[in-house]
């Protein structure tokens, strides 16, 4: 909850020799990226996230790499680099599909929906949210189900499709 303190601690962990425990080093880099992102220092977040991703790919840790790709996608969203955000998120989604991580797929679909919404493509955002919702409901993931319904309600309201908006509003209120 205190990103600056976490950042100090994580940076200290980088002083350890990465050859001794490269996986821990890669995770530390990724967590540093997350801390910088929480502090809204997106250039530093991007730098450390890319370093962490490179190490995880070298270690062939697909699951961890897929989550770093989500973080990189989110960082690029904040930087306004939507093309790079899309590239990272699609790659992360593909990995999560390949390793059988439906909750992770739902989380990535939620990020993709946000990207599409920022790009002004409400139809693509709705499609991504419907995918997230289906995955979340299939595995009983309440947080992702709630977020999908909430965002679908907002998008349908923006399109003046009030019946659809109300239906999703009712659903996310039930979960809340």
CA pair distance 127, 116, nearest whole angstrom: 10
Please give the pLDDT value at position 9. Answer: 79
Contact in structure between 149 and 130 (CB atoms under 8 Å) = no
Please give the pLDDT value at position 17. Answer: 57
CA pair distance 149, 158, nearest whole angstrom: 14
Q: What is the mean pLDDT of the chain?
A: 93
Please report which confidence band the pLDDT of residue 5 belongs to, taking 50, 70 and 90 as the band edges: confident
Per residue in 40-52, pLDDT (tens digit) is 999 999 999 999 9
CA pair distance 165, 152, nearest whole angstrom: 7
More confident residue, 174 or 110: 110
Per residue in 114-155, pLDDT (tens digit) is 999 999 999 999 999 999 999 999 999 999 999 999 999 999
DSSP summary character for residue 69? H
Please report which confidence band the pLDDT of residue 18 belongs to, taking 50, 70 and 90 as the band edges: low
Two structure tokens written together for 36: 């910088």
Per residue in 27-37, pLDDT (tens digit) is 889 989 999 99
Range scoring the smallest mean pLDDT among 48-52, 83-87, 164-168, 172-176: 172-176
Q: Does the pLDDT value for residue 16 go beyond 90?
A: no
Q: Does the pLDDT value for residue 19 go beyond 70?
A: no
């Amino acid at each position: 909850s205190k990103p600056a303190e976490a950042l100090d601690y994580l940076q200290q962990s980088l002083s350890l020799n990465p050859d001794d425990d490269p996986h821990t080093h890669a995770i530390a880099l990724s967590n540093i990226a997350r801390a910088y992102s929480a502090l809204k220092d997106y250039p530093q977040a991007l730098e450390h996230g890319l370093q962490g991703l490179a190490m995880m790919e070298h270690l062939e840790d697909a699951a961890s790499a897929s989550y770093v790709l989500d973080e990189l996608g989110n960082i690029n969203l904040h930087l306004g680099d939507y093309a790079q955000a899309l590239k990272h998120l699609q790659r992360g989604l593909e990995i999560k599909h390949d390793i059988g991580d439906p909750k992770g797929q739902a989380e990535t679909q939620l990020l993709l929906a946000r990207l599409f919404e920022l790009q002004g493509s409400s139809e693509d955002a709705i499609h991504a949210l419907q995918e997230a919702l289906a995955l979340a409901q299939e595995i009983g993931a309440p947080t992702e189900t709630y977020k999908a319904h909430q965002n679908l309600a907002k998008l349908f309201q923006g399109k003046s499709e009030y019946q659809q908006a109300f239906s999703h509003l009712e659903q996310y209120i039930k979960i809340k």
